[in-house]
Amino acid sequence: MAPAPAPSASSSSSSYSNSTTTGPSPVFKRRRVVEEDDTPKYSYDDLDDDQDQSKPAYIPLKQRRLMELEKLHQKTRGLPLGSTLSKAKQKQAEEEDEEEQDKDLGVQRSKQSLLDEARRLRELESQKEEKSQAEKDAEEERKILEAHAARRKLASDLELAKGINYTEPIKTSYRPPRFIRQRSEEENAKLREKNHIIVDGVNVPALITNFRDMKVPQCVIDYLKTKNIVKPSPIQMQGLPTAFSGRDMIGIAFTGSGKTLAFSLPIIMFSVEEEKKLPFVRGEGPVGMIVCPSRELARQTYESVKAIAEALVQGGYPQIGVLLCIGGISMAEQSHTMSKGFHIVVATPGRLQDMLEKKKFTLECCKYLCLDEADRMIDMGFEEDVRNIMNFFKQQRQTLLFSATMPKKIQDFAEQSLIQPVIVNVGRAGAASLDIIQEVEYVKQEAKMVYLLECLQKTAPPVIIFSDNKNEVDDIQEYLLLKGVEAVAIHGSKTQDEREYAIRSFKSGQKDVMVASGVASKGLDFNEIQHVINYTMPKEIEDYVHQIGRTGRSGKTGIATTFVNMNTNEQTLLDLKYLLMEAKQRVPPFLAAIEDPRMAAGGKLTSCPVCGGLGHGIKDCPKLEDNQRRATAGFSRGDDGGGGW
């Protein structure tokens, strides 16, 4: 029999032992060995050999079973006890761990199941509602549009502050002939349909299909004839009687359709009437204003107003004064007109605001305001300028907004700013003129310049080439001059003299080609442009519509060629594809191949409310992006307008 081990230092701390050093062997052979992990362990020797000698008073059942198991195991397999024990212990620990984990998992599971539940409920709900993707998109678009359109009304701060809210249109002395007044609504509707005119608004004045019935003075009719204007265009048929009647109006018609006459003849006639009543003297005026987004457009409008005013003088009507109010012209020139009293101001917003602030003239008796290319003016950051100008009005005014591209966003914005407005639409807002043959060609970036020369052979001059980059405009002009082509260039960094020279020499036919940046030539009416070449496809489809609109004007046919390549944004190409389809133009295979993701998702073709493009929704609108980028960067005005406005 093995001697009972002496208590060792290592075990003494926890061994049950007699502290006596003398006398018989220790009573307790079985000892509790405490190891590092404090788990009780039993010496095999003690258990086996000393079983009958010294039995512990009580061994719990669990332990006894373990012991039995160990013994059995040892006998059958001959495995060391420690390993079996530790395995058993491990198992037990694992079981305990599992229990612990289960407790944790229980919490986790219950958390996860809540999420699952929420997801499941959401799925159920969405199944219940079963909204199509298109419906969801439409809803989202509506929300973006609402957020985007949440602006103040286009009214003066004074009116807003005083809570002035005009509800009735301005009264004028104009009365159409009796037979027109007696025409039934059905007849009017038929006539509108025949002329592709769509109107919206209350008590829309009847359209009139000839100038005489509109009571346009004979001398003006004669003058218009000299300009080959014999019959009113659809926008004039509806727009002139509407404006003559004093109604606020939003006029939308394609490029080159005669909008200028539609808004300038009424202001001329009102001025003549006022002058007849009581002649204007120094310091008096104006009666009305026409505000344009660019100097060139303002000058062009000024010239056409002056020409009609001159025709009226020839016809025995009183002389009316017209003031051109744009940057880059001398104050002396303007002072001369102002010294006599004047009736009409044609202006760009910046210079107009400046002159009003300097009290060069007041708007005390001004009752007529027309914003030409209104949407572009607002897009270009002139909204605040226009609002400031409104502050100078002292009474109710008649407001007219005109453009070829008037996206829904601007229409909505304008509608709430006008008084019982009449909306006159000829064709879809933003659609291209049907008098333009549109050709789109894939030309690699590096091949563009050379191909341009070839392209110029398509038609006789005059030709306009557009590029959206000032440096490129200069490069193209230089290249053409080198090749012997008579070309002029115009962009926002040119001086006023250079810009005027370019326009004059091109208009008079001295120069065959004009290379221009988009902004500099919007709305300009050049004589019978044969061909417009978009050297670079503009990012925004509205710009494309305005640019190609320099040809195919007043009923004549023109050609537009547009270069695209892999640098052209796919979404812009999609806009272009739809525009070509709408105008029944040939769609080249590379454009036809571009698929519309909205169609694939079961959507339907609608125009973007922000820019009017057909190839995207408001969420992907490049113009909205651009506006936001400008707003973030603190820009307010058009890219190359710099100093030009």
Ligand X SMILES: Nc1ncnc2c1ncn2[C@@H]1O[C@H](COP(=O)(O)OP(=O)(O)OP(=O)(O)O)[C@@H](O)[C@H]1O
Chain residues binding ligand X by CB under 6 A are 227-229, 231-233, 236, 253, 255-261, 404, 523, 525, 549, 553-555
| Closer by beta carbon to ligand X, 465 or else 548 | 548
| Closer by beta carbon to ligand X, 217 or else 232 | 232
State the minimum distance, in angstroms, from the CB of residue 524 to ligand X: 8
The whole-angstrom separation of Cα 264 and Cα 269 is: 9
User: What is the phi/psi pair of residue 209, to 5°?
Assistant: -95, 0
- Rounded to a whole number, what is the distance in angstroms from the first to the last CA of the chain? 117
Q: Decide if 393 contacts 363 (C-beta within 8 A).
A: yes
State the minimum distance, in angstroms, from the CB of residue 289 to ligand X: 17
| Closer by beta carbon to ligand X, 300 or else 571 | 300
| Closer by beta carbon to ligand X, 404 or else 591 | 404
State the minimum distance, in angstroms, from the CB of residue 507 to ligand X: 11
| Closer by beta carbon to ligand X, 216 or else 312 | 216
Helix, strand, coil abundance in the chain, percent, nearest 5: 45, 10, 40
| Closer by beta carbon to ligand X, 59 or else 221 | 221
Residue indicated by tokens 């612990």:
100
State the minimum distance, in angstroms, from the CB of residue 532 to ligand X: 12
Q: Is the dihedral of CA 252, 257, 262, 263 positive or negative?
A: positive
DSSP code per residue over 36-54: TT--EE--HHHHHHTTTT-
| Cα-based angle 410, 411, 416 (whole degrees, multiple of 5) | 100
The three-class DSSP label of residue 180 is helix
State the minimum distance, in angstroms, from the CB of residue 353 to ligand X: 23
The amino acid that residue 8 corresponds to is S
| Cα-based angle 45, 49, 54 (whole degrees, multiple of 5) | 100
State the minimum distance, in angstroms, from the CB of residue 261 to ligand X: 5
Give the CA count within 13 Å in the CB-facing half-sphere of 270: 28
Our measurement of the distance from residue 576's CA atom to the centroid of its chain's CA atoms, rounded to an integer in Å, reads 17
| Closer by beta carbon to ligand X, 480 or else 516 | 516
The whole-angstrom separation of Cα 550 and Cα 532 is: 7
Closest to 443 measured CA to CA, from 562, 532, 539, 560: 562
State the minimum distance, in angstroms, from the CB of residue 485 to ligand X: 25
| Closer by beta carbon to ligand X, 169 or else 258 | 258
The whole-angstrom separation of Cα 522 and Cα 235 is: 19
State the minimum distance, in angstroms, from the CB of residue 619 to ligand X: 28
